Chain A
Amino acid sequence: MDTFFFNSLSPWQWAVMGGIPPALVALYFLKLKRQPLEVPSTYLWHRVIEDLHVNSLWQKLRRSLLLFLQLLVVGLAMAALLRPGWRADALVGKRFIFMLDNSASMSATDVSDTAFHRGPRSRLSTGVAGSANSRLELAKQHAAAMIDRMTSDMSAMIVTFAEQTQVVQPFTSSRKKLREALQRISPTAGRTHLRDALELASGFANPERITSEEDGQEYEVTDPSPVELVILSDGRFDAVAGFSLGNLRPQYLPIGSPEAANLAITGLSVRSDENRPGRRQVFVQVANFSDQPQRTVIDMSLDGKLVDAVEMEISAEGLSGVTFSLGEISAGVLRARLEIPSSFADRLQLDNTAHAALNSDRVGRVLLITPGNSPLELALATERVARLAVVEKQQPEFLQSLKTQQLMESDRYDLMIFDQCVPVKMPHCNTLTIGRIPPLPQWQERSSDKLHFNPQIVDWQRAHPLLNLVELGNVQIADTRIVQPPPGGKILVDSTLGPILAIAPRDQFEDVVLGFEIVGSETQGATQGQRTVNTNWPRRYSFPNFWLNVMQYLASGTARQDSPVYQPGEPVELSSAILGKMPVLDSSALDSSALDTSALDTLGADPGLDRPDRVGEKSRAGRASEAKSRKLKKLKVVLPDGASRGLAPPQHGIYAFHETYLPGIYQVFAGKERLYRFAVNLLDPNESDIRLRLGSGEQGGLRVVDSISIGYVDIEAQVQTSASRREFWKWLLLAALVVLVIEWYIFNRRVYL
């Protein structure tokens, strides 16, 4: 009664109202209003009405169209007095920004749960839900319902926010356009970033001067009138700190249910076995976002074939990890999939599968900068090393050129070996420094550049991949620097005088510092500048082994980029180093012993980049590779859904690909040849935990949905939207009037039945 009808009369008034129709019928039968008319004779009339007297009641009712119409008029009037209407959200304001969350968690299918779900949305949900099968659909329906209630003097825009903010429809007062824009919104697998959307909205609400063009019409959005900001989201994002809402008047309509359970893969990483670099391990982390412990099975398949499956139990609200050992595989597509038990209502399917792409081992690129070190060059010239990496050699003077600095900041090399020299700035790759301390404060502070004589090796980390099968007990050293790694680093070889080999991480790279020179030069005396032998290590078996380990561990790049995993919406940079395994480029690189910059050309590197060897004529190989490179400049990316996108050649040597909205495997093609694959996975506990956050307060015995926090403002979840009634009693009265006119017409025209 309250929702549809509104009682506007008291009981006794209703009694009077209720008496009208019977009175009307009674009057009709009693014919109190018959007008007497004298006629010459009722002789004929009596004969006429004789027939009508037979079953006259029914006859009268059947032919009493007028009575029916009169009753209809009274009925309509009474219905109008009931003030029928429906509860509707009052749209207060003139301009609206509908912000729809289309992040991954909005794909949750817990919409039907909202029936039993607590107060806040239930009222609105029952009114609007229906055909919606995901949170986003429900949010769209809510937005559509609000758009329907817009009046002609209101305008609105629609913004979606996930990994990226998108203006689906600029400000318009056309409800048709707004509804069409709503239809265009599709779910993404991205994370939720509200801030960008808020900043965009703020630009409209607190404008300097903004015009938005649409169909040639210009809307000047300059007046600082308040803008109603309607956030339709599940609230799965962090508080937006340091943001001022200004003229924005936010409303938060939470979509979803606090009970929505979900099992999700929240972590997937592929790495080489630390001890046996050729072998791969896959680590999978599964999270249980429900209040019951769950058992589930994780399938691991490689190129569609099941490799392994593990059953695991995850405690309520818990995380659990499992490691799959895959043996020596080089390339393929790994897929981890959760088998959801049928008893478990998993509300988000998106995160039940995770992918990883294994790109085949590629040949690493190593730049050796040395004034001359024949044992080392010999050790790096072995066939096995050549299979792992291409070694290029430069003189230390090369480091002084400014252009070299630019080259070092590129991804061209996997490893740089600085023999008896240090760069001005650490390059963008792994490094191994021989006989010097890297120019990094952490290293400089702890290590000393002072030479210590005759250290005795006492211990080394045999388990570390760098020292795999390396026996150092018989190595003697003339002088060395003591290398103390910064925090997080590891001492690999310890001597009587202190650590002489250490490794430490630097960003995603690792720096190895060997304290002693292998081939030194005299620093004083008559033989100053002459090469001297500093250690007998090159004469030991362990020496080539060590360098092979170095190539495997630091140069071949298996640890870095062969199984890249990105998150949806994250831009992917396809640099020359990643795509460097293209055969054409490799062969050209192998052809030239010196630094071959033509490979850079091939990948569209900055033409302004100085090429040290380009002074003379270009080599034939270089030209040949350039000729081939032109064909490769346009790449093609095949998305997980089979669509393909062209990738125009970039300006600065790095292809950038942005359309990583779909989770799955992306393949990069040059022509028909697949160069590279990468995977996009959700892997975000914040998105996978799709339950609405509950606040501390209670209302009507039910806990309310937590507010969201923007700047210093907490926006309450709309417990009850500012309800107003949409009434149509005016239409009923109008209908009554129309019926009255019809009745009058019929009465006068005697057009009966």
Chain B
Amino acid sequence: MPTPASLLTPELLAQLERLEIVTRKMFRGRMKGERRSKRKGQSVEFADFRNYVPGDDLRLLDWNLYARLDKLIVKLFLEEEDLHFYLLLDASQSMEFGQPSKLQYARQLAAALAFIGLVRSDRVRIETLGQTTQQRSPVLRGRSSVPRMLRQLEAIGLEGPVSLAQGVKNFCLRNTGRGVVVLISDLMDKQGYETALRWFVAHQVDCYVVHLLSQEELDPDVKGDLKLVDCEDHDAAEITVSAPLLARYQHTLNAFTQGAREFCTRRGIQYLLANNQVPVQELVAHHLRRRGLVR
């Protein structure tokens, strides 16, 4: 069972302190936060003027204009709100593979990103694909929620077979608030990942897909005549390993990742292929920063 220390090391925490989650869209927050929101509200940053209508807060009237124009004009300011930051983890059986296992890696990555969000007072919610529409995870907010967040992540275990599309659909139905969604998954769904990603597009969230593959999947070290058994549906594939076969696998894998990348790019989804051999620290500091998720 992973411990908080195993998920986030002090060095990583020190590094993460300086980062913040970036969103390319402006969302409405739920509570006062540190991010500009679409909502007009109380901040120091001017947004617009509008005519006074009865019911407006008189404190918002621009008295200088009234004096000059003899009109009641309301001065609007940008509101600073918090950000919805969702972390959606794929905890299917297939995530169990790899050293470290993909799930563990996903936990680490989620912890790092959640920590960034919590530090910046964002609303962080960590969910898995296996959760139904009713099962909601608690919203975490503020630095004080870091231990809770870690405990929640540690509690995530392997789930039964769940379709990627169904999981995303449930997630979208559960969470109406818009924000930044980071999906950490291996996208190995026999029905395809396209439906699932389309849900995100429809939900108008700022979506990041971290396509997490283990080293065994990227460069399988197999030989001889094998009967490959799918860990989820126990589907079998009989292969005789040969150099052409392995080359063909690489070709297929490249086509798969490239297809996913293209699919995402076309739909404004940021795609990142992650290898479980790359340290989380490096992934966050370099790759995700380059992708624009963190700053």
A residues near B (Cβ < 8 Å) are: 31, 33-49, 51-52, 60, 63, 747-748, 750-753
List residues of B (204-239) whose CB comes within 8 Å of A's CBs. Answer: 214, 216-217, 220, 222-232, 235-239
B242 touching A46 by the CB < 8 A rule? no
Partner of A47, one of B94, B229, B252: B252
B223 touching A41 by the CB < 8 A rule? no
A38 touching B231 by the CB < 8 A rule? yes
Query: What residues on A are CB-neighbors of B224 within 8 Å?
Result: 35, 747
Partner of B229, one of A38, A52, A60, A753: A38
- Known contacts A38-B229, A49-B237; is-contact A43 B243 (Cβ 8 Å): no
5 additional contacts (CB under 8 A) given A31-B238, A750-B243: A40-B186, A42-B230, A42-B236, A43-B230, A47-B252
- When chains A and B are docked, how far (Å) is the Cα of A41 from the Cα of B223? 17
Least distance between A29 CB and chain B CB atoms (Å): 11
Partner of A43, one of B189, B223, B227: B189
A40 touching B225 by the CB < 8 A rule? no
A36 touching B229 by the CB < 8 A rule? yes
Query: What residues on B are CB-neighbors of A33 within 8 Å?
Result: 225
B245 touching A46 by the CB < 8 A rule? no
B238 touching A46 by the CB < 8 A rule? no
Is residue B256 within 8 Å, beta carbon to beta carbon, of the partner chain?
Answer: yes
Closest to A43 in B: B188
A37 touching B253 by the CB < 8 A rule? no
Is residue B248 within 8 Å, beta carbon to beta carbon, of the partner chain?
Answer: yes
A63 touching B225 by the CB < 8 A rule? no
Main secondary structure of the interface of B (DSSP, over half): mixed
Least distance between A64 CB and chain B CB atoms (Å): 8
A41 touching B94 by the CB < 8 A rule? yes
B residues near A (Cβ < 8 Å) are: 93-98, 102, 186, 188-190, 214, 216-217, 220, 222-232, 235-246, 248-249, 252-253, 256
Listed from nearest, the 10 A-B pairs whose CB atoms lie closest are A41-B188, A40-B94, A34-B227, A42-B230, A42-B237, A45-B237, A40-B97, A752-B242, A36-B227, A34-B225
B243 touching A39 by the CB < 8 A rule? no
Query: What residues on A are CB-neighbors of B246 within 8 Å?
Result: 750
23 contacts between A and B (CB under 8 A): A31-B240, A34-B226, A34-B227, A35-B224, A36-B228, A37-B227, A37-B228, A39-B97, A39-B220, A39-B231, A40-B230, A41-B188, A42-B228, A43-B190, A44-B188, A44-B253, A48-B249, A48-B252, A49-B237, A63-B242, A747-B223, A750-B241, A752-B243
Query: What residues on B are CB-neighbors of A47 within 8 Å?
Result: 252, 256
- When chains A and B are docked, how far (Å) is the Cα of A230 from the Cα of B158? 91
- Known contacts A37-B228, A39-B97, A42-B228; is-contact A63 B186 (Cβ 8 Å): no
- When chains A and B are docked, how far (Å) is the Cα of A559 from the Cα of B4? 138
Closest to B242 in A: A752
A42 touching B235 by the CB < 8 A rule? yes
B245 touching A48 by the CB < 8 A rule? yes
Least distance between B211 CB and chain A CB atoms (Å): 13
Query: What residues on B are CB-neighbors of A41 within 8 Å?
Result: 94, 186, 188, 190, 230-232
B241 touching A51 by the CB < 8 A rule? no
B225 touching A750 by the CB < 8 A rule? no
Query: What residues on B are CB-neighbors of A34 within 8 Å?
Result: 225-227, 238
A752 touching B244 by the CB < 8 A rule? yes
- When chains A and B are docked, how far (Å) is the Cα of A48 from the Cα of B94? 19
A40 touching B222 by the CB < 8 A rule? no
Closest to B191 in A: A43
B249 touching A44 by the CB < 8 A rule? yes
A35 touching B227 by the CB < 8 A rule? yes
- When chains A and B are docked, how far (Å) is the Cα of A411 from the Cα of B237? 112
Query: What residues on A are CB-neighbors of B248 within 8 Å?
Result: 48, 51
- When chains A and B are docked, how far (Å) is the Cα of A44 from the Cα of B240? 15
- Known contacts A44-B256, A49-B239, A750-B242; is-contact A37 B249 (Cβ 8 Å): no
Least distance between B167 CB and chain A CB atoms (Å): 15
Query: What residues on B are CB-neighbors of A31 within 8 Å?
Result: 225, 227, 238, 240
- Known contacts A45-B239, A48-B252; is-contact A39 B228 (Cβ 8 Å): yes
Closest to A751 in B: B243
- When chains A and B are docked, how far (Å) is the Cα of A35 from the Cα of B238? 9
- When chains A and B are docked, how far (Å) is the Cα of A44 from the Cα of B259? 13
Least distance between A508 CB and chain B CB atoms (Å): 96
Least distance between A63 CB and chain B CB atoms (Å): 6
- When chains A and B are docked, how far (Å) is the Cα of A190 from the Cα of B250? 84
Closest to A39 in B: B228
- When chains A and B are docked, how far (Å) is the Cα of A34 from the Cα of B222? 12
Closest to B232 in A: A41
A35 touching B226 by the CB < 8 A rule? yes
Least distance between A24 CB and chain B CB atoms (Å): 14
Closest to A63 in B: B242
Least distance between B212 CB and chain A CB atoms (Å): 11
- When chains A and B are docked, how far (Å) is the Cα of A31 from the Cα of B240? 9
Least distance between A237 CB and chain B CB atoms (Å): 73
- When chains A and B are docked, how far (Å) is the Cα of A48 from the Cα of B246? 9
Least distance between A38 CB and chain B CB atoms (Å): 5
B229 touching A750 by the CB < 8 A rule? no
- When chains A and B are docked, how far (Å) is the Cα of A624 from the Cα of B235? 125
- When chains A and B are docked, how far (Å) is the Cα of A48 from the Cα of B231? 18
Least distance between B89 CB and chain A CB atoms (Å): 15
- When chains A and B are docked, how far (Å) is the Cα of A34 from the Cα of B223? 11
Most buried by A among B240, B245, B248: B240
Least distance between B259 CB and chain A CB atoms (Å): 11
Most buried by A among B93, B214, B239: B239
Query: What residues on B are CB-neighbors of A43 within 8 Å?
Result: 188-190, 230
- When chains A and B are docked, how far (Å) is the Cα of A748 from the Cα of B222? 11
A37 touching B94 by the CB < 8 A rule? no
- When chains A and B are docked, how far (Å) is the Cα of A423 from the Cα of B225? 115
- When chains A and B are docked, how far (Å) is the Cα of A451 from the Cα of B276? 150
Query: What residues on B are CB-neighbors of A52 within 8 Å?
Result: 245
Query: What residues on B are CB-neighbors of A752 within 8 Å?
Result: 242-244
Least distance between B263 CB and chain A CB atoms (Å): 16
Query: What residues on B are CB-neighbors of A63 within 8 Å?
Result: 240, 242, 244
Most buried by B among A41, A63, A747: A41
Closest to B220 in A: A39
Most buried by A among B95, B237, B246: B237
B217 touching A40 by the CB < 8 A rule? yes
- When chains A and B are docked, how far (Å) is the Cα of A194 from the Cα of B226? 78
A42 touching B226 by the CB < 8 A rule? no
Least distance between B189 CB and chain A CB atoms (Å): 7
- When chains A and B are docked, how far (Å) is the Cα of A40 from the Cα of B94? 4
- When chains A and B are docked, how far (Å) is the Cα of A38 from the Cα of B224? 15
- When chains A and B are docked, how far (Å) is the Cα of A136 from the Cα of B253? 77
Least distance between B142 CB and chain A CB atoms (Å): 36
- When chains A and B are docked, how far (Å) is the Cα of A41 from the Cα of B92? 11
Closest to B94 in A: A40
Most buried by A among B96, B98, B242: B242
- When chains A and B are docked, how far (Å) is the Cα of A751 from the Cα of B244? 10
Least distance between B118 CB and chain A CB atoms (Å): 31
A39 touching B239 by the CB < 8 A rule? no
Most buried by A among B214, B230, B232: B230
B238 touching A44 by the CB < 8 A rule? no
Query: What residues on B are CB-neighbors of A38 within 8 Å?
Result: 228-231
Closest to B247 in A: A48
Closest to A748 in B: B223
Closest to A752 in B: B242
- When chains A and B are docked, how far (Å) is the Cα of A47 from the Cα of B257? 14
Closest to B98 in A: A40
